[in-house]
Amino acid sequence: MEIKNSVIKAYDNFIKLATKKLLKDSEEFLALKKEISGKLQLPLPTNADLREHYEKMIAAKKIKRNINFEQVMQSRKIRTQSGVAVIAVLTKAYPCPGKCLYCPTEKDMPKSYLSNEPAVMRAISSQFNPYKQVRNRLRSLELNGHKTDKIELIVMGGTFSYLPKPYQLKFITECFRAAN
């Protein structure tokens, strides 16, 4: 992501100020974000943007890692609370031999999935490429403060067993390649 120098300086200042405080929870962090953003005349940054900049500052040795800051910045904590990051990927659309009445059918979508579902939207943006789906989801989770060293891979697409065997093998291989 291309960020202007003025925004980089503002992010630097924001993170330096925020890491000096002992924050109790994400609500207090949001209030601090609003307060500091107002003072620095900065649009309210996303946690993902702040985390990415925070990691760069640590790598550049501008600041030290702050566990409290990382915890309050983490969004949707429940996603990895069990210690496992769940990654859902979709196969390409393929005809299903079943004619189930309850199963939704949408053009260019895998059988039983609708284009307005979050995992489906991520698959569409990745052109149903399994490698891109896994990499993008891992990156998204990491930017939101989640550990991704242990994952559960869910392959969605109601017709996986009917897909050609070479496609099945390539799909799973690409998922594993992206995870490593």
CA distance 134 to 22: 34
Name the β-bridge partners of 35: none
Q: Where are the beta strands (DSSP E) in 74-150?
A: 85-90
Residue 94: strand, helix, or coil: coil
Instruction: Report domain extents, the chain.
Output: 1-73, 85-179
pLDDT score recorded for residue 78: 59
Q: Which two tokens stand for residue 162?
A: 């009917």
Bridging pattern class, strands 151-156 and 85-90: parallel
**Digit-coded pLDDT (tens) for 3-27:** 577 777 778 877 887 787 777 777 7
CB-CB contact of 57 with 122 (8 Å):
no
What is the pLDDT averaged over residues 58-81?
75
Q: What is the pLDDT of residues 97-143, one digit of tens each?
A: 777 878 877 777 777 788 888 888 888 889 999 999 999 999 888 87
Specify the pTM: 0.64
